[in-house]
Amino acid sequence: MMSGKKNNSNQLILSLGGNQGDIKKTFLSARNMITQEVGSIIKESSIYQTQAWGVENQADFLNQVIIVETKLSPETILEKCLAIEMELGRKRMKRWRERTIDIDLLFFNSEIIQTENLQIPHPRISERNFILHPLTEIIPDFIHPILNKSIKYLKNECSDDLKVFKY
């Protein structure tokens, strides 16, 4: 898992999140568009429900993590994911606000990527139970390339006290 470069393809891990509208339907549309635009989804976590992170008085979020096999570059993937978010009604306003869909690039193989627009692994993975729970479901033993700890270990050590439930 996550070795990448099989047949010149890469393994990408994306998170889907949202708390407005018909979220499950939006996730289905997002997964279909990701399959068309980015690559084949080879594994997906359950959908999890959690309180809004970083702000109070918002509807709970649903979150899911997917593994995608792709031949695209990380920068191209970012562009395509931003376009998918816009097509599905995402309006970028304040940080941590309500949204129909949020697609984050979490990992790209085991690579460390830092550009002006992109940071992989996602810098806040280890702080967020709503990401660590679905990641633990599908890749518990994957080693975070910067922190050098397994996803399962990071989940067990996470100080985020927001409760996460399978939806």
| Residues identified as active-site | 90, 99, 102, 104
Distance separating alpha carbons of residues 141 and 152, to the nearest angstrom:
6
For residues 64 and 19, give the distance between their C-alpha atoms in angstroms, rounded to a whole number. Answer: 12
**Strand pairing partners for 68?**
12, 41
Amino acid at 30: A
Token duo for residue 15:
């998170």
Beta strands 164-166; 48-50: pairing state: antiparallel
Count of helices and strands (H, E) across the chain: 4, 8
Tokens 């890749």, located at residue: 139
